[in-house]
Structure 1
Amino acid sequence: MLGVSNPVSLSDYKVSLKNGFLPDTLPLKCLSSPYYRPWEDIVHDLPSLIQSGQVRDRIRQLPVLSATDEHLPDEREWQRAYVVLSYLMHAWIWGGEQPEERLLPAIARPFLDVSERLELPPCATYAALNLWNYTSSSEDLTNPDNLDVLASFTGTDDERWFFVVSVAIEAEGAKTIPFTFSAIEAVRRNDDARVAMLLEEMEHCLTRVIAILDRMHERLDPQVFYHRLRPMLAGSKNMAAAGLPNGVFYDSGDERSGWRQYSGGSNAQSSLIQLFDIALGIEHLATGETSPKARAHGAFMSEMRKYMPGPHRRFLEYLGSIANIRNFALSLPASSSVREAYNSLVLRLGALRDAHIRIVSRYIIAPARQRPPEEPSKKVNLATASMQPQSEGGAQNGEKRVFYGTGGTTLIPFLKETRDETKAAARFVD
């Protein structure tokens, strides 16, 4: 096995050498203080409460609890509180026939405090849904068969599978972190052979990541995902069609009260996915210039970093300041082993994005074009909004379907352009 080196202290960025952006130890299954029993009781019963239409009645009965070091004595407790409040918030907003645009003080006040502590926005981010919301029956986190979720909106195995596949990808992708830093160090030493070897190891890891992602269809039914789970993950930004024209009013009972708009949980908020781009210099197109589309994508990716835990965000910033692999590859002859390894790795990253597009087509585009599994209801949410024709570009283009992500972005055009930009990096090196 290749030896790897690590020139920075990953612990300073809350990054694990073993698990990457997943925590070193399993997330807490429950807040330890009985003070938070009212929160945990509802989260425990969340699937049945949502299904029966009783979830808002239960949440209305919640007392306004404080988020303090007295009751949350360590990092894992704060992370669990963030997960619990994320689920309570999204169940409150999206758990009825119509979305609820006013967040009660019982959720808003502690959620603002917990989010500030963890340097995250007060909504269900990728960290809440994936990084801190799993448990495992094995030390091997790369096999989704070993994993389970701690909180759930639907209680279905479909929902479990959707989230644990992402957790397994994070665990497998974590192996690229030490390879990345070793490759950066090998570039500084002008060690062509070692750089090429490390890039090949990274490609092997990406191949395994794609294999995990391709397992999504095994236990996730498109209709369950589209109609039951996905609407619960929607954010409050660009959600006018789904019933939130102004976002959500956070009624914290103090000066922080006000309207806020946030994106919903998205894989774009995965620090691992952005790490690949940063390490390989993907943001530049074949011309060496940045196009308007690339600038728009860069702005979106930069925006998504705000939805990552603060230490992870700073880790990516640090990596960006030292990344040198692409420039090194460009400095070598076209026939060099480094260029070949770099090209192959970038195209493999493009293949990962192809796999993502297949997932979106299967689980969002196709269900939106089919009849719903039940008779049409009065519900207003992301699913019902996406199934309605919407005018885009005026009469010239006519009526067409516009498919939005949970963060409010258009899906297929963004994903295809991002995929094409990724593959363009390899074409530029050729």
Structure 2
Amino acid sequence: MSLSDLSSYTISPERGFLCAHDAARVVLEGVLGEGRDIALRLPEILPTGKVREVLRDRLPQFAPEDAMTLGEAEATMAMVHYSFLVQSYIWGAAEPVSSLPETLAVPIVALADRLGQQPLLQYSGYVLDNWGMMDSARPIALDNIFMIQKFAGGTDEAWFVLIHVAIEAKAGEVLALFGQLIEAAAASDANQARNLLEQMATIWAEINAIFDRMPEQCDPYIYFRRVRPYIHGWKDNPALKDGLVYEGVARFGGAPQVFRGQTGSQSSIVPSMDALLGVGHAADPLRAYLDELHIYRPPAHRRFIDDVRTQSTLRDFVSQDRSKGLVDAYNATIQSVADFRSRHLEYAASYIHKQGGRSAGNDTEVGTGGTPFMKYLKKHRDETAAMLLTA
């Protein structure tokens, strides 16, 4: 499949990996509509400390076969709302619970099956499919987007998510160059490859500038205590070391299940860049973790990364050509991604690692995906920077 045809991977230059539909206008009816209405009230319900009682008493029964009849936009939006309900049920009180009631377990598994994903909150439901535009005639930018589904609500929570939305949109311009760049490398066209890499590095500077704005309206203290507690999973999380029972889901047979929590590492941007640029990671627990995260991405995005990895000969071409202009352009792009990873590491330190007052499941040493994140992020950054070439 041609990588120039982004639409076949549900990607566009304007939106990148963000959903193609207008999520704020998706209508959910019947049982799913009732679930959505309750989900949108989570900022009111969670502070009461009674979220589990409310969800047990008010959520209607859902027939799993109904999920398979949903259109893509409806299934995706229902997944957003129900994944927030699931996370709120597990993490919305002082101590987590290890069993999910049938009225939540059955729909989240059915929706995950419909979409080819996992039955909990993932980056796609937290970011890619969870935003709307104030004015659809204007670009996707921080002054024109809003977060649809929230946990506690508030500026810090929304800003954290919307920074990621803005980054994903800007990355679409980078993704639009992939096909041309892979073709230029295959044709040994150094001038075209250099031009495209220079464009990429320029766009990445804009992506990094967006990322730099995180502290403007998302405070580390608020993030750690009011945003992060809800987005953990139940794999490698000491608070749910045995996993989670999905009641009423026959194929699980009552056995606890373990899934990794929502994490920015589930974004497809950097893995796509790694695949394009030929950035590899050593065979160690980090590599195994990165490979495992692949199943938490939407299927079409997985295909894109896999196809880029299979088709790109860019690094080999640049290594063989060795012309200074081409090597400089390649290195500028590598450095831009390394800079992004460095900033991620800095935020992880200030927003998580240096915070005290941890609560059940919200550990300063373990990421929402269930890993010792400081060690892994440092290794990500260092392995990227080590890929710089000499002319």
TM-score tier by shorter-chain length is over 0.9
Alignment counterpart, residue 143 of structure 1, candidates 141, 144, 155: 141
Aligned pairs for 1:289-368 (under 5 A) are 291-292=282-283, 295-333=284-322, 335-368=323-356
Whether 2:39 is the aligned partner of 1:33: answer no
Alpha carbons 1:237, 1:261 under 8 Å: kept: yes
Give the residue type in structure 2 aligned to 1:380: A
Aligned pairs for 1:18-167 (under 5 A) are 18-29=14-25, 31-61=27-57, 62-68=59-65, 73-139=70-136, 140-167=138-165
Alignment counterpart, residue 381 of structure 1, candidates 336, 361, 364: 361
**1: distance between equivalents of 2:100 and 2:81?**
15
Which of 165-174 and 142-151 deviates more?
142-151
**1: distance between equivalents of 2:4 and 2:158?**
35
**1: distance between equivalents of 2:175 and 2:377?**
24
* CA distances 1:277-329 after superposition (whole Å, capped 9, x unpaired): 11101106xxxxxx44xx43332221111100111111111111101111100
| Aligned position for 1:398 | none
Once the two structures are TM-superposed, the CA of residue 272 in structure 1 deviates from its matched residue by: 1.3
Aligned residue pair count: 387
Q: Aligned pair in 2 of structure 1 residues 200, 37: CA closer, same or farther (>3 Å)?
A: same
Once the two structures are TM-superposed, the CA of residue 255 in structure 1 deviates from its matched residue by: 3.4
| Aligned position for 2:368 | 406
**2: distance between equivalents of 1:70 and 1:274?**
30
Structure 2 gaps, min length 5: none
Please identify which structure carries the higher helix content: 2
Q: Aligned pair in 2 of structure 1 residues 211, 142: CA closer, same or farther (>3 Å)?
A: farther
**1: distance between equivalents of 2:37 and 2:46?**
14
* CA distances 1:384-412 after superposition (whole Å, capped 9, x unpaired): x43xxxxxxxxxxxxxxxx1100110121
Q: Aligned pair in 2 of structure 1 residues 258, 177: CA closer, same or farther (>3 Å)?
A: same
Alpha carbons 1:19, 1:171 under 8 Å: kept: yes
* CA distances 1:342-401 after superposition (whole Å, capped 9, x unpaired): 111111111111111111122112223xxx5xxx9xx5231xx43xxxxxxxxxxxxxxx
Once the two structures are TM-superposed, the CA of residue 10 in structure 1 deviates from its matched residue by: 2.5
**2: distance between equivalents of 1:354 and 1:8?**
30
Alignment TM-score, normalising by the size of structure 2: 0.94
Alpha carbons 2:270, 2:337 under 8 Å: kept: no
Structure 1 gaps, min length 5: 1-5, 285-290, 387-402
Alpha carbons 2:67, 2:111 under 8 Å: kept: no
Q: Aligned pair in 2 of structure 1 residues 112, 308: CA closer, same or farther (>3 Å)?
A: same
Whether 2:282 is the aligned partner of 1:273: answer no
Alpha carbons 2:9, 2:303 under 8 Å: kept: yes
| Aligned position for 1:211 | 209
* CA distances 1:23-60 after superposition (whole Å, capped 9, x unpaired): 22321455431332331222121012111112111111
Once the two structures are TM-superposed, the CA of residue 131 in structure 1 deviates from its matched residue by: 0.5
Aligned pairs for 1:163-178 (under 5 A) are 163-178=161-176
Which SS does the other structure have where 2:260 is aligned? coil
Which SS does the other structure have where 1:217 is aligned? helix
CA RMSD of aligned residues (A): 1.9
Alpha carbons 2:36, 2:82 under 8 Å: kept: no
Give the residue type in structure 2 aligned to 1:245: K
**1: distance between equivalents of 2:116 and 2:261?**
16
